[in-house]
Amino acid sequence: MSHGSHVKPGPGPAGAGRNLYIDTLRGWSIFGVVCVHFAGSFVTTDTFAWSPSFYLGLTLNQVFSFAVPMFVFLSGLLAGASRAPVTLGDYYRGRFWRIAFPYLIASFAAFFLLNHHAEWLALPGYRARFIWLFQRICFYGVEPTLYFIPLILQLYVLQPALKALPGWLNRLLPAFRLEHFALVLTALLLALHLAIGVKCNRGTLDYYTWARPNAVFWMVYFFAGLHFRTLTGMISVPVLRTGGQIALLAAVGAMVWNGYHLTDRSFVGTHFELNRLDFAYVRPEMLVYDLAVVVGLAAGVALGWAPGATVLTYLGRYTLEIYLWHIMVLYFGAWRYADALASCRQMPELIVILCAATCLVIAGVADGLSRLKTFVQHHRLVLVKTP
């Protein structure tokens, strides 16, 4: 490829059918999700505020906030890279069995094991209980941290239309190129993303309805992933490389800005009681940070970055399983034990170790079950009765 040539990204197979860079991004992101949830639980508003475990938890919680937008982008990227012909019915059935069915199993387990059943029984009447179940399963998540699965399923339902939309507009107005429509639509979705974020940050819209679990808020990342080849095909390699570097520098600047706000006790309170961490994805500094990180790291996909296989690459193969089950593993392995939490406060490095161990345990179990399934499928076992 010449120095000034345009990018022709190919997020498809590499090696044994997988792109190691994409798997590495997925591995970092899922490790980040676990850190956000577990390490974030040490960001307290009591006597432990401003302790070493507090600072480590706050740092991990904020630095890895890019994980959800990265997952949304990568979901669109991989869906857009697929060239296999498939009927609409087969497409939706595949998404159900691959994502929705495991989600329902994890939701069922969380419903009973994480004390949501008692909350549900306390509701007044069958109508209120049905509405609770419907809203939690289809939108908010039975366990609140599971909101990402209904969100991504919403986007997968819309994916055939979102993928075809620039082409439809191009046929309607052939004077404009398909690339122009993809770029304009991405810009419009970005404007919508920022508008919803600003309104939620100001309290005009409810963050827990219009932002965190809402497909409309996240659609720009998914759409950009779907049309990544088209969007980056208009950009030369030097421009893409420089743009990625600028985006990552912007991300560093946004995180410094964020860190300044979160450590200013006149702003967040003496015991951190005035913090706005719950508005994770709509605070202005985090809107900039998440977007800049995704843009900067996505440039590596287009530029063909090819890291070697690492443990993060391995974790990247089992992101769904880790996402669905990490809360329950952490709850029964650490959260419910006061001694374990006290040890984490005394030795904050245990927080990172437990997060990594949680990821590895779930990935190992998922890997083992996958290998067992493959073995059974390829080896017919016959019982022979001897006389």
Residue spans of the domains in the chain: they are 20-378
User: How far are the Cα atoms of 164, 169, 188, 195, 323 from residue 178, in angstroms, in the given order?
Assistant: 10, 8, 15, 26, 36
- Of 27-41, 154-168, 201-215, 371-385, least confident by mean pLDDT is 371-385
Please report, as a single letter, which amino acid is at residue 234.
Answer: M
Amino acid in the structure at residue 294: V
Averaged pLDDT for residues 216-225: 98
Mean pLDDT, the chain, integer: 92
pLDDT band at 381 (very low <50, low <70, confident <90, very high): low
Ramachandran area for residue 95 (φ above 0: left; ψ -120 to 50: alpha; else beta): alpha
Q: Left, alpha or beta for 125 (phi > 0: left; psi -120 to 50: alpha)?
A: left
Write the pLDDT tens digit of every residue in 248-284.
Answer: 999 999 999 999 999 999 999 999 999 999 899 999 9
In the chain, what percentage of residues exceed pLDDT 90?
Answer: 86
| CB neighbour class for 368 (10 Å; exposed up to 12, middle 13-18, buried from 19) | exposed
Predicted TM-score of the model (pTM): 0.92
- Compute the distance between CA of residue 79 and CA of residue 202 in angstroms, rounded to an integer: 34
Please give the residue that has the higher pLDDT: either 379 or 231. Answer: 231
Q: Is the pLDDT reported for residue 13 higher than 60?
A: no
Tell me what the mean pLDDT of segment 190-203 comes to: 97
Q: What are phi and psi of 337, to 5 degrees?
A: -110, 115
pLDDT at 102 over 90: yes
* pLDDT of the residue at 233: 92
Q: What is the pLDDT of residues 309-334, one digit of tens each?
A: 999 999 999 999 999 999 999 999 99
Q: Say if residue 379's pLDDT is above 80.
A: no
CA distance 279 to 208: 9
Enumerate residues 6+ apart whose C-beta is below 8 A from 259. Answer: 62
Rounded Cα distance between 84 and 87, Å, is: 10
The pairs formed by 131-136 with CB atoms below 8 angstroms and a separation of 24 or more are 136/107
Q: Which sign does the torsion angle of CA 344, 350, 356, 357 carry?
A: negative
CB burial of residue 146 (10 Å; 0-12, 13-18, 19+): buried
pLDDT of residue 4: 47
| Residue found by looking up tokens 């939620």 in the block | 200
- Specify the range with the lowest mean pLDDT, choosing from 4-18, 39-53, 82-96, 238-252: 4-18
Q: pLDDT confidence of 26, banded at 50, 70, 90?
A: very high
How far, in Å, CA of 346 to CA of 179, rounded? 55
The pLDDT score that the predictor gives to residue 231 is 95
Phi, psi of 44 (to 5 degrees): -100, 170
Instruction: Using the predicted structure, report yes or no on whether residue 168 has a pLDDT greater than 60.
Output: yes
**H or E stretch at 340:** helix 338-346
Q: Of 293, 139, 277, which is closest to residue 216 (Cα–Cα)?
A: 139
So what's the pLDDT on residue 378?
79
Whether 288 has a pLDDT exceeding 90, the answer reads: yes
Q: Which two tokens stand for residue 352?
A: 């990172």
Q: Are 212 and 147 in contact (CB under 8 A)?
A: yes
Are 290 and 65 a contacting pair, CB within 8 Å? yes
3 state DSSP class of 6: strand
Rounded to an integer, the average pLDDT of 105-119 is 94
